[in-house]
Amino acid sequence: MKKLMAMLLVVVMMVALFAGCKPAAGEKTDSEWIKENGKLIVGMTSFEPMDFQDKNGDWVGYDAELATKFAESLGVEVEFQVITWSNKVNDLNDKNIDIVWNGMTLTDEAKAAMSCSNPYLNNAQVVVVKKSNAQKYATKEALAGARFAAEQGSAGAAEALLLDSDTNLVENQAAALMEVDADTSDAAVIDLLMADAMIGEGTAYPDLVDTVKLTTEQYGIGMRKGSDLVDDLNAFLKKMYEDGTMEALAKKYRVREEMIIPQ
């Protein structure tokens, strides 16, 4: 009897999972929904060099330009919507946004909660400190006791919390850098791609440096679970790689070309 009940439970769970991954009868697919609305709503945060505003207030960046081109390939406009990163899955499911395109790390959690594209950029989580503290915090072991800041719900926050259970969880990665610059935190954990663009000589934070690389990872793009956009998006990424668009955007936005993943 117990075995029978267990088998029935498994069947029920599989049916429920399948139902959650496909549109119900009569429900619009993501492609239909987006084309009917005439726009692709992109969920993102301010994250240079991926998505950030220029002096005119327009959203630009490596991901922003790719997202705009993808919207054009669908025959719709693009709309950028700033989100709370830790709420991105709920925003997708509630149709507040259609896609998460913002240097998103392909964690197991992300892949379980969303349909995701193929990886398109390599990345790492790095520790950022004041130049004056670079030798003090030169190794992972030396970080014990440091006060950390990180973006809530991010891959960086997951790493920071392992080092400091009292990590200051802030709105975005730029805010984490501000904490270090203001000496309210000793260190921040952010994406290497952001560190390349925003810290060091000639940047907004010339007195900050990265010291310890904590992880290596890959970026992908998130959609609603079961979205029919996945194949179109992967084909689009392949085209952008093959025609040199990814390489051109990397040069434009100071993204290391070796970080680009062949499609």
Give how far the C-alpha of residue 14 lies from the chain's centroid of Cα atoms, to the nearest Å.
29
Residue at 55: amino acid letter: K
Contact 190, 177 (CB under 8 A): yes
pLDDT band at 26 (very low <50, low <70, confident <90, very high): low
For the cut 50, the answer to whether the pLDDT of residue 67 exceeds it is yes
For the cut 70, the answer to whether the pLDDT of residue 55 exceeds it is yes
pLDDT band at 4 (very low <50, low <70, confident <90, very high): very low
Q: Which helix (H) or strand (E) holds 161?
A: helix 155-163
Strand runs (DSSP E) across 112-162, as ranges?
Answer: 115-116, 121-130, 148-151
* DSSP letters for 177-221: HHHHHTTSSSEEEEEHHHHHHHBSTTSSBTTEEEEEEEEEEEEEE
The domain covering 28-121+219-259 belongs, at the CATH homologous superfamily level, to: Periplasmic binding protein-like II (3.40.190.10)
User: According to CATH, where is 3.40.190.10 located in the chain?
Assistant: 28-121+219-259, 123-217
User: What is this structure's pTM?
Assistant: 0.79
For the cut 50, the answer to whether the pLDDT of residue 261 exceeds it is yes
CATH 3.30.420.10 fits 123-217, yes or no: no
Share of the chain above pLDDT 90, in %: 84
For the cut 70, the answer to whether the pLDDT of residue 174 exceeds it is yes
